[in-house]
Structure 1
Amino acid sequence: MLNVGDLMTTELFTLQTTDSLKTARSLMQLARIRHIPIVDEQKRFIGLLTHRNILEATISRFAEVDNTVQDEIDSGIPVKEIMRTDVRTVSPELRLRDAAEILFRHKYGCLPVVENETLVGIVTEADFLKLTITLLDAVEET
């Protein structure tokens, strides 16, 4: 039986509540990620910032605000103002099938993995897609 700990990503990009929206936007672009866990100094999980949160906090391109102005605005917005704190977390011992069902039923893009209040990983839709591809390849080989 596979558990979340078998699939989760453990090398994480995280931010703290005082980091700016500009920093978050840059991190998502550079790392090509859509979810950033927010932690405190002891790596305790506090919340989650998603690509959708960033889009909601962005001035519409129809407002004709150039990138320099948007960057200035983003620099003044701390992550704590737009992050989500009502986030479902799971333990590394949770069955992988149960985690997949949580993602599917609630339309979540990820589940932060927490053990003793400390962030230890994250499991995303992309992780499940990679697993599916691996399993499909294995089936085709037989």
Structure 2
Amino acid sequence: MRVQEIMTRRIATVHQDDRLAFVQDIFTQSAFRHLLVLNGQEQLCGIISHADMSRALSPYLGTDAEVERDRDTLQRRVHQVMSRDVITITGAATLQSAARIMLEHNIGCLPVVEQEKLIGLVSWKDLLRQMIK
């Protein structure tokens, strides 16, 4: 079976200059765990995960101990936090290849790219769903 058969085609993206407050809103309001980051030319330039956000934001946000500098962490830009070395896969790749890459690199998803165009995303959950069918 090929990646293109199970990948998620509805992908959430943000831009590299968006603020973390915007990203936090997306993560809070949706089930997404990864957001793909686009540059000004709408090309994939990074990925930001829920875990990246947790590390970047102050742990005091939303608590009684919150101060201004904690709120300031929400004003940082996506490009300051995102992973830049994005590992991608093609839609024609096998599910075994996708699983191997994710395990080798300890990552939870792979953007699917064809001819430098972002067409989808395959995650470890997509692979598990297919395995139990």
Q: Do the aligned residues in 2 keep the contact of 1:45 with 1:114 (CA within 8 Å)? A: no
Q: Aligned residue pairs: how many?
A: 131
**Does the residue aligned with 1:22 lie in a helix, a strand or coil?**
helix
Supply the distance in 2 between the matched residues of 1:132 and 1:65 (Cα, whole angstroms): 44
1:132 is paired with a residue whose SS is helix
SS in 2 for 1:112: strand
Residue 99 of structure 1 deviates from its aligned partner by 0.5
Give CA deviations for 1:27-69 in whole Å, capped at 9, x if unaligned: 1121111100001355321110011110110112399226x87
> Please, what TM-score do these two structures have when normalized by structure 1?
0.82
Instruction: Indicate the residue corresponding to 1:65 in structure 2.
Output: 66
Contact 1:48 1:85 in 2 (8 A): yes
Once residues 63 and 117 of structure 1 are traced to their aligned partners in structure 2, the CA distance between those partners, rounded to angstroms, is: 46
Per the alignment, residue 80 of structure 2 pairs with 81
What SS does the aligned partner of 1:5 have?
Answer: helix
* 1:121-140 aligned within 5 A: 121-134=120-133
Larger relative helix fraction: 1
SS at match of 2:48: strand
- Point out the structure with max Rg over C-alpha: 1
Distance in 2 between residues matched to 1:5 and 1:91, nearest whole Å: 8
For 2:127, give the aligned amino acid. F
Question: Which 5+ residue runs of structure 1 have no aligned equivalent?
Answer: 135-142
Query: By how many angstroms is 1:133 displaced?
Result: 2.3
Identity %: 27
- Residue equivalent to 1:12: 11
Match of 1:108 in 2: 107
SS of equivalent to 1:15: strand
Q: What is the TM-score of this pair, normalised by structure 2?
A: 0.87
TM-superposed deviation, 1:95: 1.2
When the two chains are superposed, the root-mean-square deviation of aligned CA atoms in Å is 2.1
